[in-house]
C-alpha cells in the first residue's frame, strides 16, 4: 500500500512540475502577445470572453491569464468590465486540460513517448537560447505531464484493488455534498485544479471510482480553484481583489448550477440516450466540466455590466496610487510587470514635466511634500524593477533594458529639478526667458499626457524639436551670456544677482540637454 501511495504522490508531483515548466515557458514565449491580444480583442463582452479562452489555451493556465489581466487593469490597459469577460473565458479555457488528459493521457500508455520528449526538451534547453530554449522547457513539461498521468493510472489501478471506494456513496444529498467537499479539498491541497481533475480522470479510467463520483468530485475541484486566487490577493491591490471576487462568484455560481441542474440532466441523458451512453466515461467527465463552465458564462455575460457595478460597490477603489499599478502579483508574468513599470515611469516623467511647466509659466514653487512623493514613487519603481526576472523573450528583454536606461535619465532630470527655483530668476531676464518659453512650448505641444509616449511619430518630433533647440542654444551661448551681462549692467544688478542669472542660464542649458537625451532614449524604445 505504501508503494502505491508513493507512486500516486510521485505521479501528481510529475504532473505538477510538468505543468509549471510548460506554463511558465509558454507565458514567456507569449510575451508581448498577451498585451496585444488583450488590448485588441476585448472591445465587447463576447470578445473578452473569447480572448480569455484563447489565451488560456495558449499558455495552458487560467492563473497566468488572470494575473496578466490584473496587471493590465492596474496599468490602465484594460477596464475592469473587459477583465470580467477575460476571467470568465479563462475558466472555460482551463477545461482544455481535462480534454487533453481524456483524449490522450488515459487512452493508451504514453510513457515510452513521454520519456524521449523529456530528453529532447532537456537537450534544447542545454544547447540553445531564447525561444528554442523555452520550447525545450515546453516539450519537457509536456512529457512530464503525460509521464505523471501514466504513473497516476498505474497507482490508481493498484489503489482500486486494495481500497473499496464504493463506501463514498452518492445516494443522499449529504453524501453528494461530501464528495463535492472532497473534490474541493483535493484542489486546495494540490494547489492545482488541473492536477486534481487529472487524478480524478485517472481514477475513473482505472475503475477506482465510478462516473457519478467523478462528476461530483469535478464540481468540488472547480470550486477549489478559488482558494488559490483568494490566498494570492491577501494584502494585494483592489484590482487583484476584484479579480479574485469575480473568480469566486463565477466558480461558485457555476458549481451550484452544475450540482442542481446539469448533473441531473447529465444523468438522465446518460441513462436514456444510447448514443451518449456509448461515450467513454472519461470523455463524459471532460464534457461535463466544459459544459458547466460554458453555462456559467451564459449566465454572467449578459449581466456583465451589472456584475461590474456590484463588485465595484463592494470593493471600491480607495486609492489610485502607484502601489495599485506596481502589484506584486504582476511579477509572475515579466511582460505584464514591465508594462506596469512603464506606466509608473511615464507618470513620473509627466509629473516632472508638469513641475517645470508650472515653474516657467506661473512662477509656481514646488513643495517639499511633492518632491518627497515623487522620490518615493521613483524609489518604489526601482525596487519593483529589481524584482522583475529578466525574461527570455527578446522583445520583453529589450523593453526592460529600455526602462533601466530611462531610469538613468529620469534620475538626472530629477536632480535638475533641485534647481527649479532658478525658473523664478529666468522669468526676470527676457532673453533667457524666451529660451525657457521655447522649451515650454515643446513640452506643451508634445508631453502633456501619457498618450504621447505610445506614439513613435510624436516622440520622434519631440526629439527633433528638442535637438533643434539645443543646437540653437549651443550656437548662441556666448551671445546670450553677453545679453545677460548687459541686462545686469543696465539694471544695476549686484554681482551676486548677476552670477545667479548666469547660473540660471547654465541650469536651463543643462535641463534642455538632459531632456533631449531622454527623448533620444524614448525614441529608441
CATH assignment at residue 368 = 1.20.58
Is the residue at 328 inside a domain? no
Is the residue at 327 inside a domain? no
Is the same domain home to 60 and 106?
Answer: yes
pLDDT score recorded for residue 408:
92
CB atoms within 10 A of CB 452: 17
Is the same domain home to 356 and 225?
Answer: no
Is the same domain home to 294 and 420?
Answer: no
Is the residue at 491 inside a domain? yes
Alpha carbon distances (Å) from 251 to 117, 184, 248, 298, 332: 35, 12, 5, 13, 23
Task: Single out the residue in 269, 284, 314 at which a domain terminates.
Answer: 314
Alpha carbon distances (Å) from 149 to 13, 21, 158, 430, 457: 10, 16, 14, 79, 53
Is the same domain home to 236 and 309?
Answer: yes
Is the same domain home to 389 and 361?
Answer: yes
Is the residue at 190 inside a domain? yes
From the list 314, 318, 363, 282, the residue with the least C-alpha distance to 97 is: 282
Domain span holding position 397? 333-523
Is the same domain home to 361 and 402?
Answer: yes
Q: Are 121 and 140 in contact (CB under 8 A)?
A: yes
Quote the Cα angle for 394-43-91, to 5°.
75
Is the same domain home to 393 and 264?
Answer: no
The three cell numbers locating residue 296:
456559467
d(CA 505, CA 499): 10
Task: Single out the residue in 314, 345, 363 at which a domain terminates.
Answer: 314
Is the residue at 11 inside a domain? yes
The three cell numbers locating residue 358:
508650472
Alpha carbon distances (Å) from 380 to 55, 169, 392: 30, 55, 24
Is the same domain home to 307 and 380?
Answer: no
Task: Single out the residue in 314, 348, 379 at which a domain terminates.
Answer: 314
d(CA 197, CA 179): 13
Furthest CA-CA distance within the chain: 106
Is the residue at 139 inside a domain? yes
Is the residue at 398 inside a domain? yes
Instruction: Specify the number of domains making up the chain.
Output: 2
pLDDT score recorded for residue 169:
64
* pLDDT tens across the length of the chain (525 residues): 677 778 778 877 887 788 778 777 766 666 566 666 666 666 778 888 888 888 888 766 776 777 777 777 766 677 788 888 888 998 898 888 778 777 765 555 556 677 888 888 888 888 887 778 888 888 888 788 778 877 776 776 665 555 555 556 667 888 888 889 988 888 877 767 777 888 888 888 877 788 888 899 999 988 887 776 677 666 666 777 887 888 888 989 999 999 999 989 888 887 778 777 678 888 888 889 999 889 889 888 888 888 888 888 888 876 556 667 787 777 877 878 888 898 899 889 999 999 999 998 888 888 888 899 899 999 999 999 999 887 766 777 888 999 999 999 999 999 999 999 899 888 888 888 999 999 999 998 887 777 777 778 888 999 999 999 999 999 988 888 888 888 888 888 888 888 888 899 999 999 999 999 999 988 887
Is the residue at 323 inside a domain? no
Is the same domain home to 308 and 346?
Answer: no
Is the same domain home to 192 and 301?
Answer: yes
Is the same domain home to 309 and 350?
Answer: no
Is the same domain home to 237 and 354?
Answer: no
Amino acid at each position: 500500500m505504501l508503494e502505491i501511495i508513493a507512486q500516486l504522490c510521485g505521479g501528481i508531483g510529475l504532473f505538477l512540475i510538468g505543468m509549471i515548466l510548460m506554463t511558465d515557458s509558454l507565458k514567456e514565449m507569449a510575451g508581448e502577445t498577451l498585451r496585444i491580444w488583450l488590448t485588441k480583442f476585448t472591445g465587447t463582452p463576447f470578445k473578452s470572453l473569447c480572448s480569455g479562452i484563447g489565451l488560456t489555451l495558449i499558455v495552458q493556465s487560467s492563473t497566468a491569464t488572470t494575473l496578466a489581466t490584473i496587471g493590465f487593469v492596474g496599468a490602465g490597459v484594460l477596464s475592469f468590465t473587459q477583465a470580467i469577460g477575460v476571467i470568465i473565458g479563462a475558466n472555460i479555457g482551463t477545461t482544455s486540460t481535462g480534454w487533453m488528459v481524456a483524449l490522450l493521457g488515459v487512452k493508451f500508455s504514453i510513457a515510452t513517448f513521454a520519456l524521449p520528449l523529456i530528453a529532447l526538451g532537456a537537450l534544447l534547453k542545454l544547447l540553445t537560447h531564447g525561444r528554442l530554449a523555452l520550447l525545450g522547457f515546453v516539450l519537457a513539461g509536456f512529457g512530464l505531464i503525460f509521464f505523471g498521468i501514466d504513473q497516476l493510472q498505474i497507482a490508481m489501478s493498484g489503489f482500486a484493488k486494495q481500497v473499496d471506494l464504493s463506501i463514498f456513496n452518492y445516494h443522499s444529498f449529504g453524501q453528494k455534498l461530501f464528495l463535492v467537499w472532497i473534490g474541493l479539498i483535493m484542489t486546495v491541497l494540490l494547489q492545482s485544479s488541473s492536477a486534481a481533475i487529472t487524478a480524478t480522470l485517472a481514477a475513473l479510467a482505472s475503475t477506482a471510482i465510478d462516473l457519478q463520483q467523478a462528476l461530483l468530485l469535478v464540481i468540488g475541484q472547480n470550486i477549489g480553484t478559488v482558494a488559490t486566487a483568494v490566498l494570492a490577493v491577501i494584502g494585494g491591490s483592489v484590482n487583484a481583489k476584484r479579480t479574485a471576487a469575480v473568480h469566486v462568484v463565477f466558480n461558485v455560481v457555476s458549481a451550484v448550477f452544475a450540482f442542481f441542474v446539469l448533473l441531473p440532466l447529465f444523468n438522465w441523458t446518460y441513462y436514456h440516450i444510447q448514443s451518449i451512453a456509448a461515450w467513454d466515461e472519461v470523455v463524459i467527465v471532460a464534457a461535463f466540466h466544459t459544459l458547466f463552465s460554458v453555462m456559467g458564462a451564459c449566465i454572467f455575460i449578459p449581466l456583465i455590466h451589472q456584475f461590474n457595478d456590484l463588485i465595484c460597490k463592494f470593493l471600491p477603489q480607495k486609492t489610485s496610487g502607484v502601489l495599485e499599478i506596481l502589484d506584486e502579483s504582476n511579477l509572475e508574468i515579466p511582460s505584464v510587470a514591465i508594462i506596469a513599470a512603464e506606466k509608473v515611469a511615464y507618470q513620473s516623467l509627466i509629473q516632472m514635466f508638469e513641475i517645470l511647466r508650472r515653474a516657467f509659466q506661473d512662477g509656481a514653487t514646488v513643495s517639499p511634500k511633492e518632491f518627497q512623493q515623487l522620490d518615493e514613487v521613483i524609489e518604489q519603481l526601482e525596487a519593483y524593477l529589481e524584482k522583475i526576472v529578466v525574461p527570455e523573450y527578446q522583445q520583453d528583454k529589450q523593453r526592460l533594458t529600455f526602462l533601466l536606461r530611462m531610469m538613468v535619465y529620469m534620475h538626472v532630470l530629477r536632480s535638475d529639478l533641485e534647481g527649479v527655483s532658478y525658473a523664478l530668476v529666468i522669468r526676470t531676464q527676457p532673453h533667457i526667458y524666451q529660451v525657457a518659453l521655447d522649451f515650454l512650448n515643446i513640452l506643451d505641444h508634445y508631453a502633456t499626457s501619457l498618450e504621447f509616449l505610445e506614439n513613435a511619430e510624436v516622440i520622434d518630433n519631440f526629439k527633433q524639436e528638442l535637438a533643434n533647440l539645443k543646437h540653437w542654444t549651443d550656437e548662441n551661448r556666448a551671445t546670450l551670456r553677453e545679453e545677460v551681462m548687459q541686462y545686469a549692467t543696465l539694471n544695476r544688478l549686484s554681482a551676486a544677482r548677476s552670477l545667479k542669472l548666469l547660473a540660471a542660464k547654465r541650469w536651463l542649458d543643462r535641463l534642455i540637454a538632459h531632456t533631449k537625451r531622454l527623448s533620444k532614449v524614448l525614441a529608441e524604445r
